[in-house]
Structure 1
Amino acid sequence: MKINLSPSLIRQYAVVITVNLGVVTTGMSLAWPSPILVKLRNETETPLSRPITEEEGSWIVSGGFLVAVFGNLLGGMLLDAIGRKYCFLLLCLPKFLTSMLFIFATEVWMLILGRVVIATADSFLFMVAPIYASEIASKEHRGSLGTFMQIFSTLGIVVTLSVGPYLSYKAFNIVLASAIAVSTLPVLCLPDSPFYLYSKGRSEEALEVLLQIRASEAIAKEELQEYQDSNRNKEKIDKKLLFKNKTFLKSLSLGFLLFIGSQLVGFNAVQFYLQTILESTKTSIGSLVWLVTAEIFDSSARAFGMSITSTSCLLAIFVTTKYFAFMTESLGPALTYWFFSAMCLLVGTLIALFVPETKGKTFSEIQRALGAESIEFKEKNDKERV
């Protein structure tokens, strides 16, 4: 199948790729414990006054994800308050400062504190990036552009797992700090998402952005009209009323399924302890979870819904990573991985049964697939009631 690389499509890819450069550093920090824990347990390689214990290691790996729950709840409000672009930039400063803290850390508490800060920032970034990408991308290319986040995250993981074991503790953290600084600067040149601009009453700016990233003026104006339709008759979102909305609740349930399910299969637990696992056993495209979850929420409730469902993901990451070592020690590696295999089968079946297809659909079409009434149908019902 031949892809027409129009200037507008190239701009879409350029914008999404640029913002996802920062996700490379998220992948690097997510996999950070894999090579670093081994160094921290080695008397000659650790920068600390003593090697860390198993309990300290488990808190370094998992503690940040428990605290990040509160950061994500705040993040949902920030996304609508200051926009997707500036949320991304806001996250880069604590990430950079934390990487500097890692370089000069001398005590365990400094590492645990650093992991709390960087895990909170990275977890929030995993909300920002897919929402930004889904609102920049046209409906035909949302799937392919949405996978860049996982691709770039995986690239960062690969960098850590391939380079980390061969660099000293300090050298690797210098690499991490440099990567964060370099990947932040290009984001300053990016526009904010057209939907966010429209939601703030900046329709002309939203149209200007759409004219740059859509194939024609007609398509740009059609999408702007869709924003208008999705916000028609809507006042400021009452978050309490959202929990009485059947479509929102259905989206929320599917978000929980996608996020919690993706953790119960053991992906992050294995990833964070990978080098430790390899040493103990004496051996030598892309996930769509975040994109699909961003797609299944109505535009006006997207940030709020993502903040709630991603919180469940963080809690699941905390549980699976904190108690992975305990589980393998108590049950043995074989039973642990059989459990993860069973979860793969169960979660995959539930996704196949309940998650709607979002490929090539507008956000309004996705909402109708989830049971929401179209604008025209709602207006007809309103007239009949009157």
Structure 2
Amino acid sequence: MKETKLPIEIKADRRVVHQYLAAICVNIISLAQGTAIGWLSPFLPLLISTDSPLSTGPVTDIEATWIASLLCVGAVFGTLLFGWSADKYGRKFSLCIAALPLIGFWACVAFGGYVEILYLGRILAGLGAAGVFLLVPLYVTEISEDKIRGSLGSFFILFINIGTLVAFVVGAFVPYHITSYILIFLPILFLLCFMQFPETPHHLIRCNKIEAAECSLKYLRGYTSSPDHLNMLKEEMNSLMNQIVIREKDTNEDASIKWADFAPFSTKKAIMIGMVLVTLNQFSGCFALINYTAQIFADAGSDMDPNVAAIVVGAIQIGGSYVSTMVVDRCRRKVLYIVSAFCSAIGLAAMGAHAYLKASGYDVSMISWVPVASLSFVIFIASMGILPLTFVILSEILPPKLRSFGASLCTTFLWVVSFIVVKYFPVMVEVLGMHGCMWTFAGCCLFGVLFNAFFIPETRGKSIDEITLAMESTSKN
């Protein structure tokens, strides 16, 4: 008995190891993007101060909001570009191209002494972000087996958060220009590592490159030339080809997207769910809070050094993301999202209560720890559910033919909403007060609880085909 169990276990390990390696290597660019996002928190206060490293001197408050928000502007245009490129030239090629704007961003930081150069750099960082946020979840979804798709999909936010923490730490202890010299190597490392991995079988089948698709699937699943493995490869290829409908005589005509493809109510519902999910992702407040972490703690009067507080929050964020990778394929997606959204609302409400008491003139010195604790809790719990599940669910519910286009549409909308939140967060604080902003974000999280409970189908452990059928059946009901 012992002799028969061992080969089976080895076979099981071999079937997933290449998928894990591919997911880790493709997420090196997520790590690089996280550093570009996290760069703002430690260095925005420096750019505003009299010690600004720019030749033009300190940036104004208005210039600071543009530096923060232009990443979103670049991402809006980049999403359209990479959405087209993903279908035209493939996921792998487009991901490699997405590394170039990130290299350009760090070059602008390293050699640009003017605020206009920083504007350009942030737009380039946005172009890179568009490719990363659109293509990494898409690539991982299309290479993964159903049983591990959620775990591998959760790597995305985990690596984004690791990159954010790296930027917090390096920004706190390393000079402004040296930081860019160090972090520019991350997108280069991604190119060196990712080039060896194949294009997704889904895209190759849609392009009618059946032999290449078989080679890709054989590598990703760890299939050998044994008869059993060849039969498994044939069965999985047949299943994929049945899911991805291709006309034999006119592949190009079938691959093109038509208005009729949007006619089914299930498709409209999937896109509507995607739009709401990305909106809730941003109005949970996490992205704005991460961008302004150091400044928020300084304004809250916390005794902890703002940069140290940001590092603590970044480390906790990674903890939440790591827990997500462990539980996302063990817990129902709906339950995990609902618990995460509800607990985030509690943490944001606590932050709002502290800010309200301080604005009302109460002595809050005894509870000065509340902003750090509450924000840490929100970031941790949101990183378990709201943040990673947005992209996991989005990549799962869209019909295969419209997956790239639908993901592009929803991601574009995400960056539009993100621009509004990040650009006008300081204005919201002035108009509503910090407490009003936190309570608004908390209300959005509570809405997310209700929306998920009533409108989003459960996707854990289901194939893409089964999810599509579930969407159609719920639409009829």
Quote how far apart the aligned CAs of 1:68 are: 2.2
In the alignment, does 2:281 pair up with 1:262? yes
Shift of the 20–244 alpha-carbon distance from structure 1 to 2, 3 Å rule, reads: same
C-alpha contact 1:136 1:194 (8 A) present in aligned 2: yes
Which residue of structure 1 lines up, in the alignment, with residue 408 of structure 2? 307
Which residue of structure 1 lines up, in the alignment, with residue 449 of structure 2? 348
Which residue of structure 2 lines up, in the alignment, with residue 222 of structure 1? 235
Supply the distance in 2 between the matched residues of 1:253 and 1:203 (Cα, whole angstroms): 33
Q: Which is further off, 21-30 or 38-47?
A: 38-47
Q: Structure 1: which amino acid aligns with 2:423?
A: K
C-alpha contact 2:428 2:437 (8 A) present in aligned 1: yes
Q: What's the CA shift string for 1:161-220, capped at 9, x where partnerless?
A: 222122211111112212222222101111111111111111111112212223643443
Supply the distance in 2 between the matched residues of 1:219 and 1:138 (Cα, whole angstroms): 13
Supply the distance in 2 between the matched residues of 1:238 and 1:149 (Cα, whole angstroms): 28
C-alpha contact 1:257 1:351 (8 A) present in aligned 2: no
Supply the distance in 1 between the matched residues of 2:152 and 2:257 (Cα, whole angstroms): 31
In the alignment, does 2:52 pair up with 1:58? no
Q: Which is further off, 65-74 or 133-142?
A: 65-74
Q: Structure 2: which amino acid aligns with 1:144?
A: S
In the alignment, does 2:144 pair up with 1:125? no
Which residue of structure 2 lines up, in the alignment, with residue 247 of structure 1? 266
Quote how far apart the aligned CAs of 1:358 are: 1.2
Alignment of 1:82-161 (within 5 A): 82-161=89-168
Q: What's the CA shift string for 1:332-367, capped at 9, x where partnerless?
A: 111110111111111122022211111111111010
Structure 1, unmatched stretches of 5+, are 374-386
Match of 1:370, SS state, is helix
Supply the distance in 2 between the matched residues of 1:70 and 1:126 (Cα, whole angstroms): 13
Alignment of 1:171-320 (within 5 A): 171-214=178-221, 216-232=229-245, 235-283=254-302, 284=304, 285=324, 286=384, 287-320=388-421
Q: Which runs of 4+ in 1 moved over 6 A?
A: none
Q: Which is further off, 39-48 or 126-135?
A: 39-48
Q: Which is further off, 76-85 or 229-238?
A: 229-238
Shift of the 136–231 alpha-carbon distance from structure 1 to 2, 3 Å rule, reads: closer
Supply the distance in 1 between the matched residues of 2:447 and 2:169 (Cα, whole angstroms): 32
Q: Which is further off, 209-218 or 321-330?
A: 209-218
1:166 corresponds to which of 149, 168, 173? 173
Match of 2:195, SS state, is helix
Q: Structure 2: which amino acid aligns with 1:25?
A: A
Shift of the 206–51 alpha-carbon distance from structure 1 to 2, 3 Å rule, reads: same
Quote how far apart the aligned CAs of 1:372 are: 6.6
What is the TM-score when the length of structure 2 is the normalising length? 0.75
In the alignment, does 2:469 pair up with 1:368? yes
Q: Structure 2: which amino acid aligns with 1:327?
A: M
Alignment of 1:325-340 (within 5 A): 325-340=426-441
Supply the distance in 2 between the matched residues of 1:36 and 1:48 (Cα, whole angstroms): 15
Supply the distance in 2 between the matched residues of 1:52 and 1:200 (Cα, whole angstroms): 49
Q: Which is further off, 124-133 or 39-48?
A: 39-48
C-alpha contact 1:11 1:212 (8 A) present in aligned 2: yes
Supply the distance in 1 between the matched residues of 2:401 and 2:101 (Cα, whole angstroms): 28
Q: Which is further off, 73-82 or 147-156?
A: 73-82
Q: Structure 1: which amino acid aligns with 2:86?
A: L
The root-mean-square deviation of aligned C-alpha atoms, in Å, is 1.8
Quote how far apart the aligned CAs of 1:230 are: 2.3
Which residue of structure 2 lines up, in the alignment, with residue 378 of structure 1? none
Q: Count the aligned residue pairs.
A: 371
Shift of the 92–288 alpha-carbon distance from structure 1 to 2, 3 Å rule, reads: same
Higher relative contact order (CA 8 A, sep 6+): 1
Quote how far apart the aligned CAs of 1:121 are: 1.4
Q: Structure 1: which amino acid aligns with 2:458?
A: E
Supply the distance in 2 between the matched residues of 1:348 and 1:222 (Cα, whole angstroms): 39
Structure 2, unmatched stretches of 5+, are 1-8, 224-228, 248-253, 305-323, 325-383
Q: Which is further off, 163-172 or 64-73?
A: 64-73
User: Identity across aligned pairs (percent)?
Assistant: 28
Q: Which is further off, 315-324 or 182-191?
A: 182-191
Shift of the 348–175 alpha-carbon distance from structure 1 to 2, 3 Å rule, reads: farther
Match of 1:140, SS state, is helix
C-alpha contact 2:75 2:130 (8 A) present in aligned 1: yes
